[in-house]
Amino acid sequence: MRIQVDTDFLIYALSQVGPERIRLRRAAQSEASLQISAIAWYEFCRGPRLPEHIAVARSLFGVDGVVPLTRRSPPKLQKSSAASALPAGVPLTSQSASPPLRPRQSS
């Protein structure tokens, strides 16, 4: 099993004692593979962070734990798990995402 960690969760888990730290410790001690996206890893490292927090976080993710950005499409979600994660009536399409950013026009 893989566990994908986000920036906020990692910050809370490493910076204060609480439920996030307990959950992260349990996940790290399990057979699961911890992962973080390259974007979330950048946000975490951008700080402000103590060097010790970055070192501990890096040790949690292992060699392949920081997932790089690629042009490949992400794996498709199973309809049952995706549908249960979204509020009723929210479509499972990219059309529900924010529109793409457009470059500024020079004046």
Q: What are the residue boundaries of the structural domains of the chain, listed by start?
A: 1-67
User: Would you say 59 and 53 are in contact if contact means Cβ atoms under 8 Å apart?
Assistant: no
Q: What is the pLDDT of residue 71?
A: 67
The pLDDT value given to residue 32 = 86
**Looking at residues 8-36, what average pLDDT do you find?**
89
pLDDT for 22 equals 92
Mean pLDDT score, 6-14: 89
Residue 21 predicted with pLDDT over 70: yes
Q: Is the pTM of this model over 0.75?
A: no
3-state secondary structure the chain: CEEEECHHHHHHHHHCCCHHHHHHHHHHHCCCEEEEEHHHHHHHHHCCCCHHHHHHHHHHHCCCCEECCCCCCCCCCCHHHHHHHCCCCCCCCHHHCCCCCCCCCCC
